[in-house]
Amino acid sequence: MLTIAELEKLSRTRLHEATALLIAQQFDGAAYLSGYAVELILKARICVNLRWNGYPESRKEFEGLTSLRTHDLEILLDLTGCQEKVRTKYNAHWSNVSKWSPEERYRPSGAVPKEVRARLASASFLVRNI
């Protein structure tokens, strides 16, 4: 199981890695990791909302919890308990990251630098404020 602290640290680490990739003009990787950072912070907030010590990590830990075995940011947000605040107060930031999916890692290169910068900025904001 990944603890809340581990999830939060991983989220910040992915943001730092995304920033390094953006600086190196590796836009696709930066876009992917910024979305992944948001996924991790959402999972940490789910743990807080459900009063869990950690988030399932292995297949065995997910037994009976298959609805939580997702990378869909919309579904994860709905489980955090802070979806109303995010969709109203932080909607512009949410819109920049909510379309992310892990399948992006298989897409051909071609991320638009301006859009990647916006996603990374929004991901950074959400990680700090959710």
Distance, CA of 106 to CA of 69 (rounded, Å): 20
C-alpha torsion sign, points 45, 46, 52, 57: negative
Instruction: State the first-to-last Cα distance of the chain, in angstroms, to the nearest integer.
Output: 21
Top CATH class, 2-129:
mainly alpha
Coil, helix or strand at residue 45: helix
pLDDT in tens, the chain (130 residues): 899 999 999 999 999 999 999 999 999 999 999 999 999 999 999 999 999 999 888 777 667 776 677 899 999 999 999 999 999 999 999 999 999 998 888 888 888 999 999 999 999 999 999 9
Tell me the whole-structure pTM to 2 decimals. Answer: 0.92
d(CA 115, CA 111): 8
